[in-house]
Structure 1
Amino acid sequence: MLIDVHAHLLTEGMFNRHEFWGPFMKVQGLTVGHFSLGTKQPAKAATDQEAQANLLARMSHESRRKLMAERGVDKLVMSTPSHCFMYWAEREFANEYARICNDELSAFCRADPEHFDFWCHANLADPENAAREIERAVVQLGARGVCVGGANFNGIEVHDERLFPVWERLSQLDVPIMVHGYNQSIYWGERHHEDRFETTSIVGDCVDETLFFWHLICGGALDAFPNLKTYITHAGGMAVFQLGRLSELNRSMAPDSRNRRPLLEYMANFYFDLDVHAPGLRRGVVEVVGIERLLYGTNFGGAYDHGDLTEGLGLSDANRERIRSGNAIDLLKLDRPARAG
């Protein structure tokens, strides 16, 4: 069985909710405020209406199931695209948009629960409201956890104790965090053009994800909430590849860090995927992280597809199955089909 825990969903109800922030699907790409994603790509539609229709066609149940069948995927766990997190928008709208996203994600999944589940969205720039919305999404709508941006939430960084109500609620509900970086140039306003080469996305996502790992540990959140679980996509950004450096320098060069234990002792709180583009790097992630902390996530249907992430790694059938489905079933409390073991 194969469960891909990194996929994104946009529905018609998630578009055009704010006169400025949108989000909108335009000829030049997904647009949020002044920002448009991939503006140098050739236009694939003649009008904004056609662009939106084309995108929604790729997001339909039928289209997704077709691509899933082609790639051997049995279930997707989807989230709001990170470009639409709205942490930087007006608080009232940002909170409202989180509710909209969760209602839309839930409705989509309820129509076919065999194939689809979801990570909820919450406006972490308003932590108290975010905690309430996460509880609503998990308890009432069936969310399996919450997807968050990586580095900061409109100025509230991950180490900030103002976020403790969110971590506390997640711990009480016993559901995990999914960390996905985002284009921080979105809130630069008209200066977003200064983000040369989409750097805050292409490089910045991995930086954000690494910072989440570093700040969550250094800020003492895992001492206050030892059962908090976090999945960091893109193989952990750069955290896994620089794990030794982070561990050593947490002790010798970060005297203001609040973690009570050595950094490596917190690894049991984290999960990662194998979303890197070479089997050699994936083998390294397996060796460093361990089979029991790996999930299968690909940004399904996104910018690239590099085949089965568990092939060519020298894994036993049992370990391959743990990465492909078993760990996700346990972490997200998914139903375990008989064929999943």
Structure 2
Amino acid sequence: MLIDIHAHLVTKGMLNRHEFWGPFMKTSGFTVGHFSLGTKQPSKARNDAEAEANLLARMTHESRRQLMAERGVDKLVLSAPSHAFMYWAGEFGSEYARICNDEMSAYCRQDPQHFDFWCHANLAEPEAAVQEIERAVTQLGAKGVCVGGTNFNGIETHDERLFPVWEKIEKLDVPIMVHGFNQSIYWGEKHTDDKFETTSIVGDCVDETLFFWYLICGGALDAFPRLKAYITHAGGMAVFQLGRLSELNQAMAPDARNRKPLMDYLENFYFDLDVHAPGLRRGVVEVVGVDRLVYGTNFGGAYAHGDLTENLGLNDEDREKIRSGNAIRLLKLDTPGMH
């Protein structure tokens, strides 16, 4: 069985919800406020309406199931696109979180055998986020909470203003999914100063690394020891620089609030194998261990590299843990009738 827990969803109801923030799908790309997601791919659409229609066509249940069948995927766990997290959008940020959760829940209810979802919450407004997480998990069936990297409109992951959010997530016993986003969204009209789409392509991984570092250093895992977080893109750089982070947390960060050695917090984290070289995947397996690995690929995104558990020297039992078993346990997924 193969369950991919990193896949984004856009529905018609998630588009065109705000006159400025949108989000919009245009010939220039996915657009939020002044920002448009850069791409080298020329638009296949003649106008914005056609661009939107093309995007939504790829998001239908039928289209998703067809691509899933081609790639041998049995279930997706969906999340909102990171470029539309709306932490920067004031009051609309919390409204958009409710919209996303209503839309994703409705989408998944039409085919629960193949689709589940991570809810979205506006962490820039922690009190509103707590209420929305409660609603999404207890009423809408969300399996966890997707959060964007570390900068929630100036509130960083280490900030104790987020402690009520972590407390609610721990109490509900659901995991966090961490996915960085382009910090250039905060630059407004100057977002084009972000050369080479760096705050997205490189910055996502930086954000994910900072989440790992800040959650530990800020003391959240001492206050909420049962909190669990899955960090996409193989943890950004966290796994690859674990030794440096661990040694220097102890030697060079006197203001760090963690009470235990950094390595002791690894049991609170899960990672995927979304790195492109089999040698690096083998390294992640060796460092993290199969019991803390899940399967996530940004399904249907800009690249695909086949089964990420192949050619790693793993036995069938360990491959199955990564491909589905760990996710079923972590997210409490229902899998009746799946093959």
User: Are 1:46 and 2:64 an aligned pair?
Assistant: no
Over residues 16-75 of structure 1, what are the superposed CA-to-partner deviations in whole Å (9 max), with x where a residue is unaligned?
000000000000110000010125431221100000000000000000000000000000
- In structure 2, stretches of 5+ residues that fail to align are none
The number of residues matched between the two structures is: 339
| TM-score, scaled relative to structure 1 | 0.98
1:21 corresponds to? 21
Shift of 1:337: 4.3
The one-letter code sitting in structure 1 at the alignment partner of 2:192 is H
Aligned equivalents of 2:130, 2:15: Cα separation in 1? 24
Cross-structure match for 1:275: 274
Deviations 1:148-188 (A, max 9, x none): 11121000000000000000000000000000000110121
Q: Distance in 2 between matches of 1:144 and 1:154?
A: 25
Counterpart Cα distance in 1 of 2:39 and 2:225: 43
Q: Shift of the alpha carbon at 1:14?
A: 0.3
1:58 lines up with 2:58 in the alignment: yes
* Structure 2 residue aligned with 1:264: 263
- From the superposition, tell whether residues 32 and 165 of structure 1 become closer, same or farther in structure 2 (CA, over 3 Å): same
1:296 paired residue number: 295
Q: Which residue type is aligned with residue 93 of structure 1?
A: F
Determine the C-alpha separation between the residues in 2 that align with 1:338 and 1:117: 15
The correspondence of residues 303-314 of structure 1 with structure 2, limited to 5 A, is 303-314=302-313
Q: Does residue 128 of the first structure (1) align with residue 133 of the second (2)? A: no
Amino acid across the alignment from 1:114: Q
Distance 1:165 1:192 in 2: 32
**Structure 1: gaps of 5 or more residues:** none
The answer for the alignment partner of 1:9 in structure 2 is 9
The 3-state SS of whatever aligns with 1:231 is: strand
Letter of the 1:86 counterpart? M
Matched residues in 2 for 1:25 and 1:256: separation?
A: 44
Does the Cα contact within 8 Å between 2:78 and 2:117 map onto a contact in 1?
Answer: yes
Name the CA distance, whole Å, in 1 between partners of 2:124 and 2:216: 20
Cα pair distance change 1:247/1:312, threshold 3 Å: same
Pair 1:324-2:323 in alignment: yes
What corresponds to 1:37 in structure 2?
37
Residue aligning to 2:74: 74
Shift of 1:339: 7.2
Q: What TM-score does the superposition give when structure 2 sets the normalisation length?
A: 0.99
Shift in alpha-carbon separation, 1:137–1:276, aligned structure 2, 3 A: same
Q: Write the distance in 1 (CA, Å) between the matches of 2:39 and 2:316.
A: 43
Question: 1 CA distance for matches of 2:287 and 2:113?
Answer: 33
Contact persistence 2:6–2:77 (CA under 8 A): yes
Q: What SS does the corresponding residue of 2:6 show, helix, strand or coil?
A: strand
SS of 1:320 mapped into structure 2: helix
Q: Tell me which amino acid in the other structure corresponds to 1:16.
A: N
Compute the displacement of 1:336 (Å).
4.3
- 1:207, 1:85 → 2: CA distance? 17
Name the CA distance, whole Å, in 2 between partners of 1:336 and 1:322.
14
What is the alpha-carbon distance in structure 1 between the residues aligned to residue 336 and residue 318 of structure 2? 17
The 2-side partners of 1:185 and 1:39 are apart by 15
1:235-262 Cα offsets, whole Å, 9 max, x none, are 0000000000000000000010000000
**Percent identity of equivalent pairs:** 81
1:83 aligns with 2:95: no
Quote the residue 1:155 is aligned against.
Answer: 154
In structure 1, distance between residues paired with 2:338 and 2:53: 37
In 2: Cα distance, 1:187 partner to 1:39 partner:
19
Equivalent position of 2:98 in the other structure: 99
Q: Secondary structure at the match of 2:120?
A: coil
CA distance in 1, matches of 2:257, 2:186: 30
Post-superposition Cα deviations, 1:287-324, rounded to whole Å, max 9, x if no partner, equal: 00000000000000000001100000000000000000
